[in-house]
Amino acid sequence: MDEFWVFGYGSLMWNPGFPYEERATARVVGYRRSLCVRSYVHRGTEERPGLVLGLDRGGSCKGVAFRVALSDRAHTIDYLRERELVTSVYLERTVPARLADGRHVSALTYVIDRAHRQYAGSVSIEEAASVVRDAVGRSGPNPVYVANTLSHLRELGIRDHWLESVAAAMSSEPASDNK
């Protein structure tokens, strides 16, 4: 049976923005969730970039897979390209995903382009907390993005210890005077 799935690991989990017929927890192997993207639009600006999630190579990532009606496939892809490829920091990929019920599907997702100037690489917990705390972009404050992601991960029973540590560091450090 021909199906179309989309894998979300960040804001797509709670705000997909497209109609879907099924939503399931899923795991993708070979990529990990990482605050590795300098956000110049959605959660920061060129002058004061934020950090948002990307799928970076290595490890595995639990997130949400959405099954989209085949009749909505083209519209959904157009929507996702407009949303995710605004600065071309992501590469569109189809990856194997395993759903919580054991099914194996192919899912469209967006992975970080490590050659792109917005790729932040591995940042320390302290650096990530400092950047995220003060950044605001078109889609709102960067700390709200991190908090929403953690909240939805908890609802799904998914732990992301590194992201939890970033959030804890944000709340324990004083705000920057460089606003």
Phi–psi pair at 59, nearest 5 degrees? 75, -145
> Distance (Å, rounded) from C-alpha 146 to C-alpha 163?
8
Helix extents (H) in 120-160: 125-134, 142-155
Virtual CA dihedral for 115, 92, 59, 116, nearest 10 degrees? 10
Q: Are strands 140-141 and 22-39 parallel, antiparallel or unpaired?
A: unpaired
CA distances from 96 to 27, 103, 107 (A): 9, 10, 6
Which residues have a catalytic role annotated?
A: 84
